[in-house]
Amino acid sequence: MITTKVIVLPTCAICRDEEDEELNYVVTKCGHLFHSDCMKEWNRSERNRGAGSSRCPYCNTHIQANTDYYHGGDSNNMIRLHQLIKHRVTIIEDGKPTPEEEIKAARDNLNSIKVILNKEADKLRSTEAEKVKLETENKTLKSTVAKLTLDVKYGKERTDSRAADLRKEKESRKKDLANYSADKERFQKQITDAKHFYEKLRNERGELNKELGRKNAENAKLKGVMANQTGLISTLQAQSMQLSRERDQLVEKLHAIRQQQQQQPAGNHHGQLFRNNQGIQSNQQQHQQQQHLYPVQALQSNQHFYQSSPVEPIQSNQLIGVLQGLSGGFLKLEREYMDIKNRLLEEKNDKVGNGHGHGKGKENQQIGAHHQSVEEEEEDYRSHQFSSSSRLSSYIDHPPIDSVYVKNQNDDIHALAHKMEALDTHSTRHSVASSDADQLIDPRLFG
């Protein structure tokens, strides 16, 4: 193994110049080596500064120098190295580059390092600029982060508040759901009850429809009865008017007879008139006992007066009794007719009140008009009856004095009696023809 000894040349501690070819070095007692020129410059600067004694530039130790040192002499604290000038030995290993080559290589290396350092300096400057930029961005980001942190804080508070509200709303919704469930059950129960009620109403409606059918049938039957009663009433009105006319004729004839008898003496007939009045009263009592319920039978009951014994020419008071019997029969017919009319009106009013008379307005108006006309005829009849009754009463209160001229009126009285018998026969035939209609009449109408 080859061993190489290398002597490292000293370097000035002040200038650090390793390329100085002069080897004019001085060494302090503290062991540090300097160029003599560098040391002189150092001492001169120290004196100019007024520092007093010199100090070692490296370790700051006091150095006492004499005047000979400035002229190249030695001092007590410095030693001049002369051996290095005379003996400079460099040992170079074989194959190694020479110092000049090493210096050149070192310079090249130094240049490359300088280039690298320049690049690194540029990078450093760019890095510093980037750093400044990043610091600015960092400040901006910090402010943004602070703002976002505050927003997050507020957002968290709002979220917590909203969560609390949602929890409260959830509890409220649960309560509402419970209430809705209860309402749903109640509504379902109401629906079930409504269905049962609907079924009940439908059944009742069916029963009411059946009842309506029965009422309609009964109404049709009553309409038929009413038609029969209307015809019967019309017939009775016609008969009543005919009897009224004949009665008026008879009263006029009797009034004429009375006027004739007033001119005769009154002594012959007072006893006979008294007996005739008693006979009239007994006939009236029998007539009141023999009144019947139905209108046809009421007409038939008047046959007692129509089919009585022939009227004697001198029995004018008995004829007056016959007329009074006819008046009683007419009164009975009037009462029965009014009862029929009232009951028919009550039936119609009941049907209208039950909701079945909406389509019967026209028919009711016709019936009302007919009843009005009948009432007018009744008023006329009552007026005639009142006048006739007044005449009869006056005739009874003032009986005739003489009946000599009654014989002259015998034929007229017999003719009037035949007319009355013919009218009674017509009424009998009408009662026989309408016996079927009488069976349809409700007896309660004539009770």
Q: Each residue of 347-386: pLDDT tens digit?
A: 767 766 654 444 445 555 555 555 565 556 556 655 655 5
Q: In residues, how long is the chain?
A: 447
Angstrom distance (rounded) from CA 121 to CA 127: 9
Helix axes 99-261, 361-397, angle to 10 degrees: 20
How distant, in Å, are the alpha carbons of 32, 252, 361, 437 from that of 219? 158, 47, 15, 16
Q: Across-strand partners of 80?
A: 26
* Sign of the alpha-carbon torsion through 413, 417, 418, 419: positive
E-assigned strands of 179-256?
A: none
Mean local confidence (pLDDT), 170-178: 92
Angstrom distance (rounded) from CA 132 to CA 135: 5
Q: Each residue of 219-247: pLDDT tens digit?
A: 888 888 878 877 777 887 788 888 888 88
Name the nearest CA neighbour of 232 among 91, 384, 341.
341
Three-class SS state of 109 = helix
For the chain, domain boundaries: 7-92, 228-446
Question: Do 54 and 63 touch, CB atoms closer than 8 A?
Answer: yes
Angstrom distance (rounded) from CA 44 to CA 50: 10
Residue type for position 131: K
pLDDT at 177 over 80: yes
* pLDDT at residue 154, as a whole number: 92
What DSSP designation does 443 have? G
* pLDDT at residue 140, as a whole number: 92
* pLDDT at residue 63, as a whole number: 74
Name the nearest CA neighbour of 427 among 242, 174, 151.
242
Question: Do 93 and 4 touch, CB atoms closer than 8 A?
Answer: yes
* pLDDT at residue 167, as a whole number: 92
Angstrom distance (rounded) from CA 277 to CA 271: 10
- The torsion angles phi and psi of 232, rounded to 5 degrees, stand at -65, -40
Mean local confidence (pLDDT), 109-134: 89
pLDDT at 114 over 50: yes
* pLDDT at residue 73, as a whole number: 43
Mean local confidence (pLDDT), 179-187: 91
Q: Which position has the higher pLDDT, 147 or 429? A: 147
Name the nearest CA neighbour of 444 among 344, 356, 360, 361.
344
Count the neighbouring beta carbons within 10 Å of the beta carbon of residue 115: 10
* pLDDT at residue 161, as a whole number: 92
Highest-scoring range by mean pLDDT, 266-275, 282-291, 409-418: 409-418
Angstrom distance (rounded) from CA 294 to CA 233: 12
Cα dihedral 183, 184, 186, 189 in deg (nearest 10) = 170
Place of tokens 């003996």: 87
Half-sphere exposure in the Cβ direction for 197 (13 Å, CA):
6
* pLDDT at residue 365, as a whole number: 57
Highest-scoring range by mean pLDDT, 11-15, 78-82, 238-242, 307-311: 238-242
* pLDDT at residue 256, as a whole number: 84
Mean local confidence (pLDDT), 100-129: 89
Mean local confidence (pLDDT), 182-189: 91
Does 3.30.40.10 match the CATH number of domain 7-92?
yes
* pLDDT at residue 221, as a whole number: 87
Kindly report each contact of residues 212-220 with a partner whose C-beta sits within 8 Å and lies 24 or more positions away, as own/partner.
212/356, 215/351, 215/354, 215/356, 216/356, 219/351, 219/356
Q: Each residue of 37-96: pLDDT tens digit?
A: 888 888 888 888 776 677 888 888 877 654 444 434 445 566 666 555 444 555 656 667
**CB within 8 Å of 304: residues ≥ 6 apart:** 286, 287, 290, 325
Q: Which position has the higher pLDDT, 439 or 169? A: 169
336: which 2 tokens? 């029965």
* Sign of the alpha-carbon torsion through 235, 237, 242, 243: positive
Q: Which position has the higher pLDDT, 422 or 157? A: 157
pLDDT at 294 over 90: no
- The torsion angles phi and psi of 80, rounded to 5 degrees, stand at -85, 135
Q: β-pairing, 54-55 with 62-63?
A: antiparallel
pLDDT at 426 over 50: no
Q: Is 396 exposed, middle or buried (0-12, 13-18, 19+ CB in 10 A)?
A: middle
pLDDT at 308 over 60: no
Mean of the per-residue pLDDT values of the chain: 68
pLDDT at 346 over 80: no
Three-class SS state of 263 = coil
